[in-house]
């Protein structure tokens, strides 16, 4: 029996709003933090909060919804509180206050990702067929948030409003529209990204109250259940897979954190950055729908994972050159390609290599090592190299000062203008590491024929 249209609509809307909250601020927060005058060290810790929360939050959140509270009410509560925190971050000017707000918000937001998935699965008749069609609305929500933020920033531009009031079908008007669109005269309200995210989060919280009822199981759940999956580390292939995946995810923050500022530096208006970065999610939808199923089935896991990882160094090498602008913008599609190939193929492999009684634990272990520990370390590694590749003297980092000074002198960034980043040097770091990871997958990761046969069936 198929899922009812009402349930499908509510689950799809839930995914749309959840990822719209995330997409409204996550990809454009770095320039805002710089506007506030926060140092790279502070910004690095701000972006470390979400990975740390992904390590801690599942323990308490899982216990609450499994024992005491219906999932939809818990999601409503944390979305409403999260919305208030996002608005607070939009007006916060103190690094300490921002760190506190981001830390608390991250603890609230982190469990929403697995809990919305589990709620959706609970109400599906055929998850294998139905989940993809519902989850894709999350990616659409992310794209809509980016496009919406861009439109909002243009509506704040006096030149844009004047141009729209004088609309005509002449070639001259369209030429002027093109010029004003790519070079708006104002950046709009400071903190608008967090205000937008906060409003959407509050809407999400209210909407969660009408989600399908998902009561707690009221049975004991071991919060350390993922430890059971550690037995998989005895499998050499799984150990190699997990180690390489860890290294790969440490480099993702070289995309997530600085790309908005990098695009602005090469001439993309800050008003257009949110919608330009949505190219990655558009590519992700296309890859998931039309390319990935065939790739997994025809090429197998080794090549699928390797191709997914190598998409990132291809993007980073284009970023390192930094021109032409159209190629840099087009290369954003590599992120959607790599994300879909790497993470989806990884989840398929983990699901297939683990026995049915430890599959959830194995997925938790994979998330802990990658999205948790990998992304946290990646934020620290990025901060280190960002300071090294940025002009001006470095002080106030303690015993690291001599290390930074030596590296900056060897690269020549110590004599560059303060706050000017050598993007070529910076992006060559993740380029080298992700390319090495792709090669390592091909050399050392060799799933058994049984595992590959199961993958073929899944695909």
Residue 36 tokens, joined = 């506030």
In this structure, how many other beta carbons lie within 10 angstroms of the beta carbon of residue 325? 12
**Of the candidates 150, 151, 179, 419, which has an alpha carbon nearest to the alpha carbon of residue 270?**
150
Residues in the chain where the model's pLDDT stays below 50: 220-221, 224-225, 454-459
DSSP class per residue in 359-425: HHHHHHHHHIIIIIIIHHHHHHHHHHHHHHTB-S---SSGGGHHHHHHHHHHHTGGGSPTT-B-HHH
Backbone angles phi and psi of 221, in degrees to 5: -125, 125
Q: Which pLDDT does position 336 carry in this prediction?
A: 84
Residue 53 tokens, joined = 């929360």
| CA–CA distance, 148 with 142 (Å, rounded to integer) | 10
Residue 105 tokens, joined = 């918000």
Domains of the chain listed by start with CATH number: 1-219 (1.20.1250.20), 224-459 (1.20.1250.20)
Peptide bond into 324 cis (omega under 30): yes
Share of the chain above pLDDT 70, in %: 87
List, for residues 376-393, the tens digit of each pLDDT value: 999 999 999 998 898 877
Q: Which pLDDT does position 10 carry in this prediction?
A: 92
DSSP state of 226: G
Close Cβ partners of 429 (under 8 Å, ≥ 6 residues apart)? 251, 254, 385
Q: Which pLDDT does position 17 carry in this prediction?
A: 95
Sign (positive or negative) of CA dihedral 22, 23, 29, 32: negative
**Residue 376 near residue 51, CB atoms below 8 Å:** yes
Q: Which pLDDT does position 285 carry in this prediction?
A: 86
| CA–CA distance, 200 with 369 (Å, rounded to integer) | 30
**Residue 260 near residue 31, CB atoms below 8 Å:** yes
Close Cβ partners of 149 (under 8 Å, ≥ 6 residues apart)? 24, 28, 192, 193, 196, 274, 275
List, for residues 3-59, the tens digit of each pLDDT value: 788 888 999 999 999 999 998 998 889 888 988 888 888 998 999 898 888 887 766
Q: Which pLDDT does position 454 carry in this prediction?
A: 39
**Residue 371 near residue 51, CB atoms below 8 Å:** yes
Q: What angle do CA 421, 427, 428 make, to 5 degrees?
A: 120
Residue 42 tokens, joined = 């502070």
**Residue 110 near residue 50, CB atoms below 8 Å:** yes
| CA–CA distance, 288 with 260 (Å, rounded to integer) | 25
Q: Which pLDDT does position 459 carry in this prediction?
A: 38
Phi-psi region of 170 (alpha: psi -120 to 50; beta: other; left: phi over 0): beta
Give the 3-state secondary structure percentages of the chain, helix then strand then coil, rounded to 5: 80, 0, 20
């Amino acid at each position: 029996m198929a899922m009812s249209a009402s349930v499908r609509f509510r689950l799809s809307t839930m995914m749309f709003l959840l990822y719209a909250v995330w997409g409204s601020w996550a990809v454009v927060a770095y320039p805002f933090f710089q506007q506030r005058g926060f140092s790279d060290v502070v910004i690095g810790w701000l972006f470390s909060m979400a990975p740390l929360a992904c390590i801690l939050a599942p323990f308490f959140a899982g216990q609450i919804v499994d024992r005491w509270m219906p999932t939809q009410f818990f999601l409503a509560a944390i979305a409403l509180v999260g919305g208030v925190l996002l608005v607070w971050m939009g007006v916060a000017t103190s690094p300490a206050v921002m760190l506190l707000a981001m830390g608390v918000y991250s603890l609230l937001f982190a469990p929403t990702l697995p809990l919305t998935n589990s709620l959706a699965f609970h109400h599906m008749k055929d998850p294998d067929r139905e989940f993809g069609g519902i989850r894709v609305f999350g990616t659409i929500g992310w794209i809509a948030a980016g496009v919406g933020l861009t439109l909002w920033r243009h509506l704040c531009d006096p030149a844009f409003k004047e141009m729209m009031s004088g609309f005509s079908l002449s070639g001259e008007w369209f030429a002027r529209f093109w010029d004003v669109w790519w070079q708006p005269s104002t950046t709009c309200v400071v903190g608008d990204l967090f205000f937008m995210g906060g409003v959407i989060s509050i809407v999400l919280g209210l909407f969660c109250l009408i989600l399908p009822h998902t009561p707690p199981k009221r049975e004991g759940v071991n919060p350390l259940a993922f430890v059971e999956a550690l037995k998989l580390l005895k499998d050499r292939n799984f150990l190699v897979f997990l180690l390489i995946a860890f290294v790969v995810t440490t480099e993702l923050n070289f995309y997530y954190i600085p790309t908005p500022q990098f695009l602005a530096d090469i001439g993309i208006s800050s008003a257009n950055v949110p919608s330009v970065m949505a190219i990655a999610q558009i590519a992700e939808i296309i890859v998931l729908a039309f390319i990935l199923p065939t790739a997994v089935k025809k090429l197998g896991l080794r090549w699928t994972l390797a191709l997914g990882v190598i998409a990132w160094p291809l993007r980073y090498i284009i970023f390192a050159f930094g021109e032409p602008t159209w190629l840099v913008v087009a290369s954003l599609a590599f992120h959607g390609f790599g994300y879909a190939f790497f993470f989806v193929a990884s989840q398929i492999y983990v699901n297939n290599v683990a026995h049915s009684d430890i599959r959830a634990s194995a997925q938790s272990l994979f998330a802990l090592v990658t999205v948790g520990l990998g992304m946290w370390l990646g934020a620290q590694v990025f901060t280190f190299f960002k300071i090294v590749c940025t002009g001006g003297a470095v002080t106030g980092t303690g015993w690291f000062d001599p290390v930074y000074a030596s590296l900056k002198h060897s690269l020549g960034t110590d004599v560059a203008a303060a706050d000017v980043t050598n993007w070529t040097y910076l992006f060559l770091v993740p380029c080298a590491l992700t390319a090495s990871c792709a090669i390592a997958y091909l050399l050392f990761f060799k799933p058994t024929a049984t595992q590959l046969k199961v993958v073929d069936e899944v695909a």
